[in-house]
Structure 1
Amino acid sequence: MTDFKALINTIVVPLVEHPEAIRIEENETDRFYEFQLYVDPKDVGRVIGKQGHVAQAIRTIVYSVRVQGSKRVRLIINDGTK
């Protein structure tokens, strides 16, 4: 399987001011490979972008990677406060 954590990290690191605060957690369900992206609360706006355009672009790239089987990839962006 593709290393989605490395892909997400490669996309997000140049966007944020606090790359050391990036954390990606992986969870697999029966329908999805789910990735939770946590960033510093000050960087959330940079990752989401105006009207969510940056977040949508990140998701488009991540979702375009082919996954074998019937599972799909899901990316959830959190603000790091949890």
Structure 2
Amino acid sequence: MDITALIKAIVTPLVTHPDAIEITRHETAEYMAFDLSVDPEDVGRVIGKGGRVAQAIRTIVYAVKSPYDKRVRLNILDASHSEA
């Protein structure tokens, strides 16, 4: 399963600027981390009220069988904050 494609497929219908979606992957000692960046206008839509949408996205991404030996981690980046 391509985790990047999965994240993009989940997030694209939520945002008004799908062309601004950027997903970068990097490896840490414990995780295969994916950083999601969207247009500043769309950050609230991706995070959701009380972080519910972000948590739902993470639940789906973490539940999928990963091709990596490490656990997957999704970071939602915000221009005004480092991570949501």
Q: TM-score, normalised by structure 2?
A: 0.87
Query: 1:14 corresponds to which residue?
Result: 13
Structure 2 unmatched runs, 5+: none
Query: 2:30 corresponds to which residue?
Result: 31
Contact 1:21 1:40 in 2 (8 A): yes
Does residue 1:44 correspond to 2:28, yes or no? no
Structure 1 unmatched runs, 5+: none
What count of residue pairs does the alignment treat as equivalent? 81
1:65, distance to aligned residue in structure 2 (A): 1.0
Determine what percentage of the aligned residue pairs are the same residue: 59
Using CA pairs under 8 Å that are at least 6 residues apart, name the structure with larger relative contact order, 1 or 2: 1
1:57, distance to aligned residue in structure 2 (A): 0.2
CA 1:31 to 1:38, structure 2 compared with 1: closer, same or farther past 3 Å? same
Paired residue secondary structure (2:57): helix
Q: What letter is aligned with 1:77?
A: I
Query: 2:74 corresponds to which residue?
Result: 75
Give CA deviations for 1:36-75 in whole Å, capped at 9, x if unaligned. Answer: 0000010000000000000000000000012356510000
Q: TM-score, normalised by structure 1?
A: 0.89
Moved over 4 A (4+): none
Tell me how large the CA RMSD over aligned residues is: 1.8
